[in-house]
Amino acid sequence: MCATVLPVWAATTAPAFGTDVSQHNGKGVDYPAWKKAGKTFTMIRMSYGNDHLDPQFWNNVNAAEAAGVPFGVYHYSYAFNTKEATIEANYVKSVLAQMKGKYKYFVLPVAYDLEDQLILDNSNKKTIIQHAITFCDAIRAAGYTPMVYANLNWFANYLDVQTLHSKGYKLWYANWQPKTTDFSAPVQIGKTGVYADIWQYAEGDMAAGVPDYNVLWDFKALAHVYSGKVIAQPTCTAYGKTKYTCTQCGDSYTVANIKPKGHSYKSQLTKATTAKDGQIYKKCSVCGAVTGKTVIAKASNIKLSKTAYTYNGKVQRPGVTVKNSKGKALKNGTDYTVTYPKGMKNVGKYTVKVTLKGNYSGSKSMTYNINPKGTSVSKVTAAKKGFKVTWKKQRTQTTGYQVKYSTSSKFKKAKTVTISKNKTTSKSVSKLSAKKKYYVRVRTYKTVKIGGKSVKLYSGWSKAKSVTTKK
């Protein structure tokens, strides 16, 4: 069976008749007398609005309990939105908590009474159905059977009966037909194809303290005592599920009633390099969902302001520019640091290292030369099938000289002679064509060690001078 206490008639298929009461029925409701008159259950108004308890509520539930009359309770709503429906549900649950374990005849549903004109004036069908769902789901989650009370106008025009029915809410239908004599079968709510669990078929007489007239057909279906068990935990985006099982008969239903946890985002950084874009994004630490991606353009344009200097006895170092692939300049100290080598004064090859930082990673090394200072041709003297070239001595930071000569002023097919001592200031070249014009120029060089190997670094060429060889 489906309740702690069931009346004898609950085992039959015959309809049961009952009442609904509130403060309007006055004090001292005579349940024993009603029981003798065939009223074997009652629905008692608990409250109305956000936090108003019916003044006769405790008197009525205590009297029904003492008389052994199974009862349910109902709340008269004034909610204009789901927030207010939640407030109403929370208040009802606070009163239900006070009743828990004290009333063995409290076996019928907790109903949501929707009939006030103010709700219609401030809401619409779409929102009113949400009020009902919000309230009923909260009641169900608390372990009670939810029910919706309304008249034909409300059920037909302002509530989606099919939705209420599909969600397993019980339905209490107010449609007064006082001359009704046939209660053999449940009554359909209008032409919806949905049948009422309780039918309020006639109005009572408030002035005389006579309650409204109600009938129900399946007491056991209404008198479930549910216990809830979480069967699916909520995820970041999906509701968790609770399965409610009647401890009396095993009837069960499942409700998605545990709010999603929401994402737990943490900022993540994939640093950009010189070859690949990076990104800043937020990633959920629970499910891995990613949002808010911002691309960090790769630092693909890293250059020295100058790659070659001429020795002048002073420190010479180039500037550094670092730009991303979009042409935006990055900030020194924030996005990168620059490491210069020691010295940068003598002739040699120097390495400058740019190390990316912050939203960037990686590094790039670039080299520049300090080349030896050049020299100039003092004179070129013709000789028999040759010439002698004399230049200005340049011994500082040099190893030697090179002489280049050609019959072309553009030095096509030129030949080069290397002089390995920087003290030397002249060189004779022979075995040339007689009476032929030659162009001659000179440069200095210095041999330095780079990566363990000897490498020559050269100055620029001097201005060329011409000479015509003798016969």
Find the Cα–Cα–Cα–Cα dihedral 318, 319, 321, 322, rounded to 10°.
80
Q: DSSP letters along 4-54, please?
A: SS--GGGGSSS-EEEEEE-GGG-SS--HHHHHHTTEEEEEEEEEETTTEE-
User: 11 pLDDT band (50/70/90 cuts)?
Assistant: very low
pLDDT 10s digits, 292-329: 999 999 999 999 999 999 999 999 999 999 999 999 99
User: 130 pLDDT band (50/70/90 cuts)?
Assistant: very high
Residue 70 CB coordination number (10 Å)? 25
> Mean pLDDT lowest for which of 19-33, 247-261, 336-350, 410-424?
247-261
Q: Where are the beta strands (DSSP E) in 167-225?
A: 170-174, 198-202, 212-216
CATH class in words for 301-371? mainly beta
> In degrees, to the nearest 5, what angle opens at C-alpha 405 toward C-alphas 402 and 411?
110
Find the Cα–Cα–Cα–Cα dihedral 22, 28, 33, 37, rounded to 10°.
-20
- Whether the per-residue pLDDT at 3 is higher than 50: the answer is no
pLDDT of residue 98: 92
Q: How many helices (H) and strands (E) does the chain have?
A: 8, 29
- 341 phi/psi in degrees, rounded to 5: -80, 170
Per-residue pLDDT, averaged over 409-435, amounts to 96
Distance CA 61, CA 65 (A): 6
User: 210 pLDDT band (50/70/90 cuts)?
Assistant: low
Most confident range, picked from 171-185, 198-212, 249-263, 338-352: 338-352
> Mean pLDDT lowest for which of 93-97, 222-226, 344-348, 398-402?
222-226
Per-residue pLDDT, averaged over 353-364, amounts to 98
CB 155 within 8 A of CB 178: no
- Whether the per-residue pLDDT at 249 is higher than 70: the answer is no
Q: Say whether 301-371 and 8-224 share the same fold.
A: no
Per-residue pLDDT, averaged over 49-63, amounts to 95
CATH number of 377-468: 2.60.40.10
Per-residue pLDDT, averaged over 429-442, amounts to 97
Q: Which residue, 279, 441, 453, is CA-closest to 376?
A: 441
Name the residue ranges covered by the structural domains of the chain: 8-224, 301-371, 377-468
Fold of 8-224: TIM Barrel (3.20.20)
pLDDT 10s digits, 270-288: 999 999 999 999 999 999 9
> Mean pLDDT lowest for which of 152-166, 212-226, 252-266, 388-402?
212-226
User: 30 pLDDT band (50/70/90 cuts)?
Assistant: confident
